[in-house]
Amino acid sequence: MAQRERIVAELGRPETPEETAARKAESSRVYRSSQTFRNLVAALVITLGIVAIVIFAVPRGEPPAPKPIDVAAVAEDVSGTLGGGVAIVPVVPETWLVTSAAVAGDDPRTWTVLYVPAEDAGFVRVSQGFSADAAWPTRELSGADAAGTIVIDGVEWTEYDIPDPARAGNISAALSTTAGDDTILVYGATNTETLRVVAAGLADQIVTAQEESS
pLDDT one-digit tens code per residue, 20-33: 666 766 676 666 66
The model carries a pTM of 0.69
Q: How far is residue 206's CA from residue 72's CA, in Å, rounded to a whole number? A: 16
List phi, psi (to 5°) of 45: -60, -45
pLDDT one-digit tens code per residue, 133-185: 999 999 999 989 899 999 999 999 999 999 888 888 889 999 999 998 999 99
Q: How far is residue 15's CA from residue 181's CA, in Å, rounded to a whole number? A: 110
Write the DSSP assignment of 69-137 as a string of letters.
P-HHHHHHHHHTTTTT---------TTSEEEEEEEE-STT-EEEEEEE-TT-SSEEEEEEETT--TTHH
pLDDT one-digit tens code per residue, 36-46: 667 666 677 77
Kindly list the domain boundaries of the chain, sorted by start residue: 7-57, 71-213
The CATH number of 71-213, from 3.40.50, 1.10.260, 3.40.1000, 3.90.550, is 3.40.1000
Q: How far is residue 123's CA from residue 129's CA, in Å, rounded to a whole number? A: 19
For 116-134, letters b (16+ CB in 10 Å) and e give ebeebebbbbbbbbbebee
Amino acid at 14: P
The residues near 56 (Cβ < 8 Å, ≥ 6 apart) are: none
Q: How far is residue 50's CA from residue 56's CA, in Å, rounded to a whole number? A: 10
Q: How far is residue 159's CA from residue 155's CA, in Å, rounded to a whole number? A: 13
